[in-house]
């Protein structure tokens, strides 16, 4: 199987994915959850299903602006600015008058400082993961170019995941929240997981045979581990798909993010990490020929 | 291979034994089977006089059990740096005392610092009225002076409701107290506790001592009676002493508590969140359902792809699940929804080791090796990949878990809940995927030759 001859195709696919991601991030941005933007998100149940305008008016009367909402049967998801507990009590009492069966399901309110902190912490986590993985893989394979290409493929996946959430946010209202950060960091590890397995096979093949050049080595290694890569991704995809379809609303997007990350990770280990690694190797084998 | 036969058999039966032990631990505390009621053994252990009884219930986080969580920012600008650690410690104790008034079990008060800022996180499982919680915990002064109107009831009161019936508010509280100090009586040398009120407090105190002359005046801190001295005379001028059976230590302790009636540092509420219990219950049920369906698919996929080998892998996956749940109960791990997702994800990753090994075995079989040789080689050669790949996941898992509480990394409960189940899952998954599957195969597949 000569997978490496598709390298130009992989380059086109990856470039398209990355460009789309960057485009979407710049032009559409994100649907930030209150974890990042600050403010209040409130999920309540009103079995009498009043018009949203009634609730909007109630909030306006209390000096609050409803910035976003969605309704699922008797459940209302409301987003508005940061409120004090006195005010919440006032609004709760008014809602109880509108609907005596009012249930307070989930409530969160926070100031904007915390969101900025979360962002900075996420960036730190990505930097720290990248450096540790670069050093670990580099030292395990005694070759820094292995570490560098694995980490670059990993950042490629991270960018695509971030981009797809910008697109999902624009069209389906998917929010970027603290859980998304978790999914992003997990994607980093899942991506490297597959890459390392393939690299491992290249290292092993190399110790058996001296004649094969790097491209042939890569082809042989990929064709030997690709069934495993796909099979393994399938099992993780089964678990995550079940969560996306059957899991609760609050974590559906979290599972979706993980799903995108896993699929990307499987693709990039073959289509990004190895071609990148080969880029650093070709020159070396030329030198040998001379 | 024969020389290892006994060792392999011992390992095999140990695996079976551990599995059964885990099944027992994971049984419901009480259940019905064939019309009879069974109880889970409680595994209590007697060591000399002390009895160890492990709590084997699964613990759920706020997002699953329902409850409220409050985050306060501490204003440290008024304090000198060297006083700060002590002030923060007494702030935490003070808040804990207020939280305990709520009577929630497993409440949690945590101090975290973010650069030079300090935050206080308060988790209140099961609390549904967040407004009440904010009021009680965020209040700045909780010291109250109350006149005793029913002495009998006051002494016998066991609940705060009864206690409040036996006393009458004098309007005097912690905000009127300027200072309290332990001091020896100039005549007798016996320790006393002095009180000094501000002008408004002095007037209220004069009125209180008039109203309750020859009666008791109770001093309550956060609803708990600290002392109830007898009022001997009307006191004008706002300075008084409490005398009783004080030694230096108890006098100091009382005045410290009176001074601390107000929180030592001002706090500001910056985040509140609350989850209703019904939503949490729903999340658990959906999570379990999704997990079971996903697991079923993985089982079928493995058997479909690898036949008998797949079946053995499924068995070690079940053992993996049982051991993981047992560890959750023993450590204990507080389960959150992201935690459940971490567990489900680690199931997917646990199978990975087996897939790696089986693909390797297939290759060796194709190369013409005997079944047993192919098996041992498959495990041996796949181990390198498994080890390296999982180390990478463990590295990111550790960065998510942030074990050293580095302030530039996340330490929120959600992210940690995910990291802890993922880490446990990966480590255990390596163990069951390699060690357990290998030994099960050695015993069960031997005759396939």
- Domain positions in chain A are 3-33+113-289, 39-110
- The complex's ipTM works out to 0.81
pLDDT above 70 for B138: no
> What residue ranges do the domains of chain B occupy?
67-140+266-273, 143-255, 277-448
Query: Which residues of chain A neighbour B351 with C-beta distances below 8 Å?
Result: 232, 235
CB B222 within 8 A of CB B98: yes
Query: Which residues of chain B neighbour A94 with C-beta distances below 8 Å?
Result: none
Instruction: Answer yes or no: do A114 and B271 touch at CB < 8 A.
Output: yes
pLDDT, average across residues B135-160: 72
Q: Which long-range contacts (CB under 8 A, 24 or more apart) does A52-61 make?
A: A52/A76, A54/A98, A55/A95, A58/A91, A58/A94, A58/A95, A58/A98, A59/A91
Q: Does A225 touch chain B (CB under 8 A)?
A: yes
- Distance separating alpha carbons of residues A42 and A65, to the nearest angstrom: 13
Q: What is the pLDDT of residue B40?
A: 67
* Cis? peptide before B172, omega within 30° of 0: no
Q: Does A132 touch chain B (CB under 8 A)?
A: yes
Q: Which helix (H) or strand (E) holds A186?
A: helix A178-208
CA-based nearest residue to B351, from B291, B424, B301: B301
Residues 11-50 on A with a CB inside 8 Å of B are 43
Q: Using a pLDDT cut of 90, give the percent of chain B over it.
A: 3
**Closest CB from B347, B388, B409 relative to A200:** B388
pLDDT, average across residues B220-249: 78
- Distance separating alpha carbons of residues A227 and B100, to the nearest angstrom: 57
Instruction: Answer yes or no: do B301 and A258 touch at CB < 8 A.
Output: no
Instruction: Give, as one character, the DSSP assignment of residue A269.
Output: I
| Residue pLDDT, tens place only, B327-344 | 888 888 888 878 887 887
Query: Which residues of chain A neighbour B363 with C-beta distances below 8 Å?
Result: 224
Q: What is the pLDDT of residue B104?
A: 67
Q: What is the pLDDT of residue B304?
A: 92
Instruction: Answer yes or no: do B415 and A133 touch at CB < 8 A.
Output: no
Dihedral angle computed from the Cα positions of residues A85, A86, A87 and A89, in that order, rounded to the nearest 10 degrees: 90
pLDDT, average across residues A207-234: 82
Query: Which residues of chain B neighbour A189 with C-beta distances below 8 Å?
Result: 392-393, 395-397
Q: Does A246 touch chain B (CB under 8 A)?
A: yes
- Distance separating alpha carbons of residues A157 and A129, to the nearest angstrom: 14
Q: Does A9 touch chain B (CB under 8 A)?
A: no
pLDDT above 90 for B133: no
Our CA-based measurement puts residue B131 at a distance from the nearest CA of chain A, in whole angstroms, of 5
Q: Does A236 touch chain B (CB under 8 A)?
A: yes
Task: Please determine whether the domains at B143-255 and B277-448 fall in the same fold group of CATH.
Answer: no
CB A131 within 8 A of CB A78: no
Q: pTM surpassing 0.80?
A: no
Q: Does A205 touch chain B (CB under 8 A)?
A: no
- Distance separating alpha carbons of residues A164 and A238, to the nearest angstrom: 20
Question: How far is residue A160 from each of residues A16, A175, A265, A288, measured CA to CA in Å?
Answer: 10, 16, 10, 37
- Which residues touch B225 (CB under 8 Å, ≥6 apart)? B163, B218, B219
pLDDT above 60 for A13: yes
Query: Which residues of chain B neighbour A239 with C-beta distances below 8 Å?
Result: 291, 294-295, 297-298, 344-345, 347-348
| Residue pLDDT, tens place only, B239-250 | 888 777 777 777
Assign domain B277-448 one CATH number from 3.40.50.620, 3.40.190.10, 1.20.120.420, 1.20.1640.10. 1.20.1640.10
pLDDT, average across residues B271-287: 77
Compare all CA atoms of chain A with the CA of B363 and give the residue at the minimum distance.
Answer: A224
Instruction: Answer yes or no: do B385 and A196 touch at CB < 8 A.
Output: yes
Label residue A135 by pLDDT band (50, 70, 90).
Answer: very high
pLDDT above 70 for B33: no
CATH architecture of A39-110: 2-Layer Sandwich (3.30)
Our CA-based measurement puts residue B142 at a distance from the nearest CA of chain A, in whole angstroms, of 19
CATH number 3.30.70.3400 is the correct assignment for the domain at B67-140+266-273: yes
Instruction: Answer yes or no: do A121 and B409 touch at CB < 8 A.
Output: yes
Query: What is the three-class DSSP state of B259?
Result: helix
- Distance separating alpha carbons of residues A126 and A185, to the nearest angstrom: 7
CB B311 within 8 A of CB B391: no
Query: Which residues of chain A neighbour B279 with C-beta distances below 8 Å?
Result: 43, 105-106, 248, 250
Our CA-based measurement puts residue B161 at a distance from the nearest CA of chain A, in whole angstroms, of 24
Which of A194-203, B38-47, B283-292 is most confident?
A194-203
Our CA-based measurement puts residue A29 at a distance from the nearest CA of chain B, in whole angstroms, of 23
pLDDT above 90 for A20: yes
Ramachandran assignment for A9, one of left (phi > 0), alpha (psi -120 to 50 degrees), beta (any other): alpha
Instruction: Answer yes or no: do B279 and A258 touch at CB < 8 A.
Output: no
Ramachandran assignment for A38, one of left (phi > 0), alpha (psi -120 to 50 degrees), beta (any other): left
Least confident of A58-62, B220-224, B261-265: B261-265
pLDDT above 60 for B115: yes
CA-based nearest residue to A4, from A258, A272, A203: A272
Least confident of A31-35, B221-225, B348-352, B412-416: B221-225
Q: How many residues does chain A have?
A: 290
| Residue pLDDT, tens place only, B71-86 | 888 887 767 777 777 7
Compare all CA atoms of chain A with the CA of B353 and give the residue at the minimum distance.
Answer: A232
Q: Does A100 touch chain B (CB under 8 A)?
A: no
pLDDT, average across residues B44-53: 62
CB atoms within 10 A of CB A246: 19
**Closest CB from A111, A228, A246 relative to B290:** A246
CATH number 3.30.1360.200 is the correct assignment for the domain at B143-255: yes
Least confident of A192-196, B92-96, B201-205, B252-256: B252-256
| Residue pLDDT, tens place only, B418-437 | 888 989 999 999 888 888 88
- CATH topology for A3-33+113-289 is Multidrug efflux transporter AcrB transmembrane fold (1.20.1640)
Mean pLDDT of chain B, nearest integer: 79
- Distance separating alpha carbons of residues A12 and A18, to the nearest angstrom: 10
**Closest CB from B337, B385, B391 relative to A136:** B391
Least confident of A58-72, B134-148, B210-224: B134-148
In our burial notation (b when 16+ CB lie closer than 10 A, e otherwise), range B308-344 reads ebbebbbbbbebbbbbbbbbbbeeebbbbbbbbbbbb
Our CA-based measurement puts residue B132 at a distance from the nearest CA of chain A, in whole angstroms, of 9
């Amino acid at each position: 199987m000569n997978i490496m001859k598709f390298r130009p195709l992989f380059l086109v696919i990856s470039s398209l994915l990355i460009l789309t991601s960057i485009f979407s991030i710049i032009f559409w941005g994100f649907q930030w959850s209150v974890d990042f933007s600050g403010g209040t998100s409130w999920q309540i149940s009103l079995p009498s299903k009043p018009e949203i305008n009634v609730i909007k008016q109630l909030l306006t009367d209390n000096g609050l602006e409803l910035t976003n909402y969605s309704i699922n049967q008797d459940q209302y998801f409301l987003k508005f600015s940061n409120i004090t507990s006195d005010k919440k009590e006032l609004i709760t009492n008014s809602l109880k008058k509108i609907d005596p069966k009012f249930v307070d399901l989930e409530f969160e309110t926070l100031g904007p400082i915390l969101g900025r902190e979360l962002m900075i912490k996420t960036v730190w986590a990505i930097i720290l993961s990248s450096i540790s993985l670069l050093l670990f893989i580099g030292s395990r394979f005694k070759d820094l170019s292995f570490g560098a290409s694995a980490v670059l493929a990993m950042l490629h996946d991270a960018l695509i995941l971030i981009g797809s959430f910008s697109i999902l946010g624009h069209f389906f209202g998917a929010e970027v929240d603290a859980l998304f950060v978790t999914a992003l960091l997990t994607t980093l590890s899942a991506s490297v997981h597959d890459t390392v397995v393939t690299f491992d096979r290249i290292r092993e093949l190399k110790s058996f045979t001296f004649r094969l050049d790097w491209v042939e080595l890569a082809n042989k290694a990929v064709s030997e581990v690709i069934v495993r890569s796909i099979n393994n991704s399938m099992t993780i995809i089964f678990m995550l798909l079940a969560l996306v379809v059957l899991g609760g609303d609050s974590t559906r997007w979290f599972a979706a993010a993980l799903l995108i990350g896993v699929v990307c990770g499987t693709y990039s280990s073959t289509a990004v990490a190895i071609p990148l690694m080969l880029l650093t190797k070709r020159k070396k084998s030329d030198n040998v020929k001379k | 291979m024969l020389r290892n036969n006994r060792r392999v058999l011992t390992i095999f039966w140990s695996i079976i034994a551990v599995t059964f032990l885990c099944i027992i631990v994971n049984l419901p505390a009480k259940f019905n089977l064939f019309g009879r009621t069974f109880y889970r053994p409680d595994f209590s252990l007697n060591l000399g006089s002390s009895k160890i009884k492990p709590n084997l219930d699964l613990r759920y986080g706020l997002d699953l059990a329902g409850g409220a969580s409050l985050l306060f920012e501490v204003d440290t600008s008024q304090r000198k740096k060297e006083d700060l650690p002590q002030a923060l410690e007494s702030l935490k104790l003070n808040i804990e005392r207020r939280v305990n008034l709520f009577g929630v079990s497993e409440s949690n008060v945590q101090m975290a610092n973010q650069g030079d800022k300090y935050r206080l996180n308060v988790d209140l499982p099961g609390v549904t009225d967040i407004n009440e919680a904010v009021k009680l915990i965020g209040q700045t002064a909780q010291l109250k002076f109350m006149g005793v109107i029913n002495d009998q009831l006051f002494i016998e009161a066991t609940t705060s409701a009864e206690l409040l019936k036996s006393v009458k508010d004098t309007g005097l509280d912690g905000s009127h107290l300027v200072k309290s100090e332990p001091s020896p009586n100039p005549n007798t040398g016996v320790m006393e506790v002095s009180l000094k009120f501000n002008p408004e407090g002095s007037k209220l105190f004069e009125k209180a001592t008039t109203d309750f002359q020859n009666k008791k005046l109770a001093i309550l801190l956060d609803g708990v009676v600290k002392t109830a001295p007898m009022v001997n005379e009307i006191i004008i001028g706002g300075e008084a002493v409490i005398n009783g059976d004080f030694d230096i230590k108890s006098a100091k302790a009382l005045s410290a508590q009176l001074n601390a009636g107000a929180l030592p540092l001002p706090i500001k509420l910056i985040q509140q969140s609350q989850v209703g219990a019904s939503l949490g219950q729903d999340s658990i049920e959906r999570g379990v359902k999704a997990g079971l369906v996903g697991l079923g698919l993985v089982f079928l996929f493995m058997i479909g792809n690898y036949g008998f080998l797949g079946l053995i892998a499924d068995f070690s996956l079940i053992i993996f699940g049982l051991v993981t749940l047992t560890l959750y109960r023993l450590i204990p791990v507080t389960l959150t929804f992201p935690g459940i997702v971490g567990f489900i994800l680690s199931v997917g990753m646990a199978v990975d080791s087996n897939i790696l090994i089986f693909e390797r075995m297939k290759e060796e079989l194709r190369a013409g090796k005997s079944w047993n040789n192919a098996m041992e080689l498959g495990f041996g050669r796949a181990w390198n990949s498994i080890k390296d790949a999982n180390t990478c996941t463990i590295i990111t898992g550790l960065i998510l878990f942030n074990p050293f509480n580095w302030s530039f990394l996340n330490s929120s409960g959600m992210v940690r809940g995910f990291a802890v189940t993922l880490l446990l899952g990966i480590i255990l998954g390596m163990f069951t995927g390699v060690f357990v599957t290998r030994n099960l195969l050695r015993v069960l597949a031997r005759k396939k030759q």
